[in-house]
Chains A and B, each alone.
Chain A
Amino acid sequence: MSRLQVVSGKGGTGKTTVAAALALALATEGKRTLLVEVEGRQGIAQLFETEALPYEERKIAVSAEGGEVFALAIDAERALLDYLQMFYKLGSAGRALKKIGAIDFATTIAPGVRDVLLTGKACEAVRRRDKEGRYVYDHVVMDAPPTGRVTRFLNVNDEVAGLARIGPIHHQAQSVMRVLKSADTAVHLVTLLEEMPVQETADGVAELRAAGLPVGKVIVNMVRPHVLDEDAVREVSEGGRAAVAEALGSAGVPEPAELVGPLLEQAAEHAERVGLERSQRGLLTGLGLDSHELPMLGDGVELAGLYQLASELRKQGAGE
């Protein structure tokens, strides 16, 4: 299975949550995963209810099976300085570069350098080995930019390799691309069963494929149970109002007659959603990708919920 698992998705679909749950799910007994964040939002720290992550890999959780999850919030500026230090021993020259604005330029204005550094750091973690030659991390899970930008983000090294045709940046860009386009990588897209996220998922899959990037799975998040379908709602709405009121009364609900209308209204909304979800699920099936489905958690995602989602992912074979 792919060692670099990139998780993207439309804004609001819960991709950070899914990435964190996936990192937990992959950390089976004796394994170690690294969860990386590239957008400087400290979403991981908030999910795991810890203080803001520094630019350093630190253990953030132990999975239910006893595997370890490490986390890293990659900071482009720090990654660049590290990089310069590593290749050029640029201690004070690095500071001078920073002073004249070169680091700012490189990390915020120069095309793609920022993204090269972020993807480069993640790929470095994927390839890193310990003294015995074993991989330091069994899996690296990346909480990537949203679907609309992920292809450009991952593919930036291709562009940079073209711009900087020689030199270390060129080589770095090429070696990152080798990892990203190999079977070592899988790009998963998180979606909801709603029109816009599903459309964006379909567009994202097409873009990733066109760029030659390996598409992984579709992860449908926040799936709610179907309590009643359209037929059932129509049945009661059209013929059974009085009977429903009666049933409510007998079950101990006060003033049942006044509740029938609002309850049926809610049921009609629910049924409309069930219908919409069915058609959206059909569209997703048409993409021909493996998928996972994660339930909506009643109380929002707290730490316990994260473990619940991880176990759900494992049950659905996400770790295989």
Chain B
Amino acid sequence: MTLDTVDRLEIDPLIDDPGTRIVVCCGAGGVGKTTTAAALGVRAAERGRKVVVLTIDPARRLAQSMGIDSLDNTPRRVTGIVRDGGAAGGGELHAMMLDMKRTFDEIVEAHADPERARAILENPFYQSLSAGFAGTQEYMAMEKLGQLRARDEWDLIIVDTPPSRSALDFLDAPGRLGSFLDGGFIKVLMAPAKVGGRAGMKFLNVGMSMMTGTLGKLLGGQFLRDVQTFVAAMDTMFGGFRTRADATYRLLQAPGTAFVVVAAPERDALREAAYFVERLAAEDMPLAGLVLNRVHGSGAARLSAERALAAAENLDEGRIVDQRAGKTQGRDAAAVSPEPPAVEHSPETPHEAPSAPPRRDAATVPDASPAEAGRHGSPEAVPPNDIPRLTAGLLRLHAERMQVLAREKRTRDRFTALHPEVAVAEVPALAGDVHDLAGLRAIGERLAAGNAGA
């Protein structure tokens, strides 16, 4: 199975479809997930959608490219969105960064009376929990997604997922919260507050206070009291938490949601992508396809790495011959220096005298006048003896590129063999990073073209 037989992930129909209300970008760290989310946002807005992009932890430069400078929990309108030629217009792009503590605080404030809310917000246990220990970011990302969807101000929400230990944590977070709330542990923690019930409960209470006694020893009494106060204060809110977590989970399964798995053509990233694809299927989450970032292509692909290297060696040998011809001595030195020539300019290398032209005819470089042209001075005047060296460099670069291509293809084919059903969009590698809206737009165009060779 090769990529040619795989369906192409068509980005434009996906983001143009008014039925698409949520796009979730997920994948391993460092594959360009956030950039993909932002580029999809720009493209969808310029094609007429009213879009909000929820980023979790964007690199500063990427945030700046959308004009968001500081951490802010409120969607801000991005300026500079231009209507795409054939599009309906009326598109808008809004962007925000998740502030998990702020999001958590807002939930507390919205769902508890002021006095209780203050007790919770001041609780030391709550303060560390909300400041972002394991899992909080995932809960809050999903909570924020639910909120944005409920506001119904945007017709497309694009979500970036947290840079988790596992890319799947955000899927597990709501369930984990649920099992915690359903478990007996909360009741144990609350037990001291509820002691003194019916006589029949007495035995149970003894067991529980033994348990809390152990926990107290382990954690320190004050810490346990903080936790207990927190749990007691949050008690009335737990039901709401679970309801919302369940609702968000169902939202992710709904037909208006599309998951886009992002990867780079590297073994680890694609392994994680494969795992994600399987997991989404197991959870009945709708997968749109795979975005494969940073794919290399070559306009000279018909020249194989092997042939390019062989040709480069021919050129090197030619130069050694030239040097022999140009120098009366040093024949032995040339013969015992089989290694490739210096790869960068080395100013020490003497120019060949014009009287000893390289074997490759100097006359084909019409305006070459090596005697007077400085090595870096006038670009039109390439010293003829440089040509074989530079050409060998071009060929070596090409060989390197072809090796990269072959490796990427092997990795990709392995994924495709496992998941032939997954549609793929390839995004060609860029030399530099994205700095502005134009850069995001360019990525969006490449995403929509979906083919590295194109």
Q: Which residues of A are in contact with B by a Cβ distance under 8 Å?
A: 10-13, 16, 39-41, 43, 46, 84, 87-88, 90, 93, 96-97, 99-102, 104-105, 108-112, 114-115, 145-146, 148-149, 152, 156, 159, 163-170, 194-197, 199-200, 224-229, 231-232, 234-236, 238-240, 242-244, 246-248, 250-253, 259, 261-267, 269-270, 272-273, 276, 298-300
Contacts and interface: CB of A to CB of B under 8 A. Distances in A.
B386 A112 contact: no
Contacts of B345: 229, 231-232
Contact of B365 (A104, A196, A243, A298): A243
A248 B311 contact: yes
A109 B180 contact: yes
A100 B163 contact: no
Given A11-B28, A196-B433, A199-B60, A163 B393 contact: no
B268 to A, nearest CB: 7
B219 interface: yes
A242 B364 contact: yes
B269 A12 contact: yes
Given A41-B166, A166-B220, A251-B318, A261 B299 contact: yes
A246 B269 contact: no
B197 to A, nearest CB: 18
A253 B211 contact: no
B371 interface: no
Contact of A236 (B219, B390, B400): B390
B200 interface: no
Contact of B218 (A167, A194, A246): A167
B219 A250 contact: no
B300 A166 contact: no
Contacts of A272: 431-432
A224 B391 CA distance: 19
A303 to B, nearest CB: 13
A115 B407 contact: no
Contacts of A112: 128, 133-134
A303 B207 CA distance: 53
Given A102-B188, A104-B183, A240-B365, A93 B214 contact: yes
Contacts of A273: 431
Interface in B300-328: 300, 303, 307-308, 310-312, 314-315, 318
B417 interface: no
Given A236-B390, A242-B365, A227 B400 contact: yes
Interface core residue of A97, A108, A232, A243 (most chain B CB under 10 Å): A243
B301 to A, nearest CB: 8
Interface residues of B, number: 96
B28 A235 contact: no
B390 A244 contact: yes
Contact of B364 (A115, A243, A267): A243
Contact of B132 (A152, A225, A235): A152
B361 interface: yes
Given A246-B360, A300-B266, A12 B31 contact: yes
B226 to A, nearest CB: 7
Nearest to B220: A167
Given A163-B223, A228-B397, A244-B391, A105 B180 contact: yes
A247 B387 CA distance: 7
A97 B268 CA distance: 36
Interface in B359-380: 359-361, 364-365, 367-368, 376, 379-380
A108 B390 contact: no
Contact of A262 (B267, B300, B361): B300
A11 B163 contact: yes
Contact of A264 (B184, B215, B216, B394): B394
Interface core residue of B222, B264, B396 (most chain A CB under 10 Å): B222
A235 B379 contact: yes
Nearest to A114: B134
A114 to B, nearest CB: 5
Nearest to A16: B268
Contacts of A298: 403, 407
A104 B299 CA distance: 54
B194 interface: no
A93 to B, nearest CB: 7
B138 to A, nearest CB: 10
Given A108-B134, A246-B360, A266-B298, A12 B29 contact: yes
B59 interface: yes
Given A111-B129, A164-B219, A267 B397 contact: yes
Contacts of A240: 365, 382, 386-387, 390
Contacts of A225: 343
A248 B433 contact: no
Contacts of B183: 100-101, 104-105
